[in-house]
Chains A and B, each alone.
Chain A
């Protein structure tokens, strides 16, 4: 099977190059035969990459340990789900997975894009083929998953234990889907620039793709946080690790684009900026992969380090130069059609929203790269960790939270003082009330207090929009509040889906404030001994060590330490944290022992228990107990955010077939004389 996979990769390389060449020629000359050939090349490419991916999956499932990749990332006793996840568990496989998914997206783009954008499609095929060829080249020449060993081991090493978690089965594909699907909007942007057809059409063509990519990235990032929380055992979910930062960067620029594109659609402004944002998002996604794969910046994700970084660096540099040339030579065609009428307008608030989103992306990128910059400039390595990122980014984040509420309240074009007063009175009142409540409670943390006040303001703003919308429908159509709410959202999914996304962001911020009140305690306890942990909500937990049991499971040896938990006088139950030693099918230890936390989640707080080990090989256990306030709201916020994204994405909420024409015509209309 691996020979078939290898063959498929080489053929994909040739077909990809063919697709790129005929795509460019077809797009330039308008030759229908070449255009058709470029389109078909994307389908053949998808077929070949499917064969390649299926070949590696077959090798993984059949335990073909003569294949170096299978021997490194799988084992006979690895559960099937993780054998399948091993496809992207190692570097070579993940690059193959990237090329495979990209080829599917490229084919899907050719299939689902309406015919009115046909003039862009050959060049879209060319761009997606070039990017696929790049990934196939890296796979073939630098990280080939089909490479064979000179001998066949009797068993494989197995998958990294930290990856043997349900979250890791879903989290990487989601993140990859997010990264990879950004290629499609980028391909449309390049096609529009090359054809000089820079009307609103290409923006409409990529709208769903951009949202899809943003939703996948959001799901991937949230699942990544969840995985880090339940698997890594440090009791947190975001550590400003370079790889986390790499996923956050394109998310920020895409979020900026999703806002600024509205200004171009409604007012014909920010055309250059939008093209730049699409390109930036694409290159930041590639940059994220570069960071993950190259090991240029040391991180806990360094298990994927290798020399493929040079390929990525070359691609980034060449791609960046090409994009800069393309935008630079089309600046005249990207001139704004309208002018800003007032600083008190939604357009102006979106300018500042973009400034902060891209500013945050810059600060995260700058912080991530600063160790390299420092080494280059001073010859001294420095560490840029969470204290730096929190210090720099929390104020920007609070500014963004404020704009989340301000933006939707201000009218397009120009807001009158009366309009502003009417719109802001209730939300500002809600925010100030929250401030008074916090002051009365002697709330200690300034940043957390500010975040809660702003969150209340945004909830007030969004709530007001929904209440007014439902009220208007109720008055106009006599609908019940529930029906009016459903129709309000259903008939304007983009606007109200966006508001739901904003609610998700607010929920995130509220959850983040819990970090300020985290409580931790280390204790070594003999069986029967107890430790007491005080919750920031006022109650005490009594944690009694029951003992340590040891047993064998499917592919691991488990040492399980159990704790009886009492809150005040109430018995909550027993929580068990595990120390796992993963072994192959011959019982040989393959990895260092890992720790599985025991977590009891409630809406208020999580009790997080880690069994650190035993004292001198006895049942006296060392524990770390942590109370993490409001963590559940991080996952709820993620779910709300994604739900809002899906509402916005739902078929029927996008531009109709008439939209490009209408947008091209601007705001022309025929006015009937008033009688």
Chain B
């Protein structure tokens, strides 16, 4: 068994042992009253188990999309949209796969096999999907290289030297123009 598998295995055993128990200590034992109108307090919830706070499960769920159409990942949906009936079910699927000692990649693969690539929150880095990841970077890099080349080329090419004597357009001599450039550079910096 791989290290990941051992970790998952230990987690599964721990989950099996503690899964149905509330995780948090009771500071005092109290009887729990029923709400006056339970149906007005949203969809009934189940007790929280260790699985709900397991960083491994949360990490996997953050990479999987809820199928309810909200566009959120499973973790965010199940902890945000409490009317969603899909995300708790998908969470149970993830937990079930964890209990089968599947690694993160295996769980993702199982979801892709069942729901298609759209189950992943980001396109898998294979085939055409590389275009999604690489195109912005390539576009910026290539434009940057071209821009840098143009900038260097233009700044290396010496500017045409104006003829001595007054420029007919501006009435400036080359000395005057140089002085003006210096003054402006000083002013603007």
Contact = CB atoms under 8 A, between A and B. Distances in A.
A31 interface: no
A530 B25 contact: yes
Given A299-B71, A356-B140, A374 B123 contact: yes
A531 B24 contact: yes
B145 to A, nearest CB: 11
B75 to A, nearest CB: 9
A622 B123 contact: no
A559 B35 contact: yes
B72 A234 contact: yes
Contacts of A479: none
Interface stretch (B1-9, B11-19, B45-53, B95-103): B45-53
B179 interface: yes
A381 interface: yes
A421 interface: no
A424 B69 CA distance: 50
Contacts of A523: 22-24, 48
Nearest to B124: A382
Interface residues of A, number: 91
Interface stretch (A13-21, A599-607, A664-672): A664-672
Given A232-B80, A298-B69, A374-B129, A413 B185 contact: yes
A383 interface: yes
A351 B147 contact: yes
B170 A266 contact: no
A566 B79 CA distance: 23
Interface in A365-411: 366-367, 370-371, 373-374, 377-378, 380-388, 391-392, 396, 411
Nearest to B129: A382
Interface string A548-564: 10100000010100000
A613 B22 contact: no
Contacts of B140: 355-356, 359, 362-363, 396
Contacts of A617: 34-35, 38-39, 41, 44
B9 to A, nearest CB: 23
Interface size class of B (residues with CB under 8 A): 35 or more
A413 B71 contact: no
Given A359-B143, A391-B122, A593 B30 contact: no
A530 B27 contact: yes
A445 interface: no
A524 B121 contact: no
A530 B188 CA distance: 63
B40 A557 contact: yes
Interface string A517-560: 00011111111111110000000000010001010000001010
26 contacts: A232-B80, A234-B72, A300-B70, A340-B154, A340-B155, A343-B155, A380-B118, A383-B65, A383-B122, A386-B73, A387-B121, A388-B123, A520-B79, A522-B53, A526-B30, A529-B22, A529-B26, A530-B24, A550-B41, A557-B37, A559-B41, A593-B42, A614-B35, A616-B38, A620-B32, A670-B171
Give the 8 A-B residue pairs with the shortest CB-CB distance, closest first: A617-B38, A363-B136, A411-B189, A359-B140, A385-B121, A559-B41, A613-B45, A234-B80
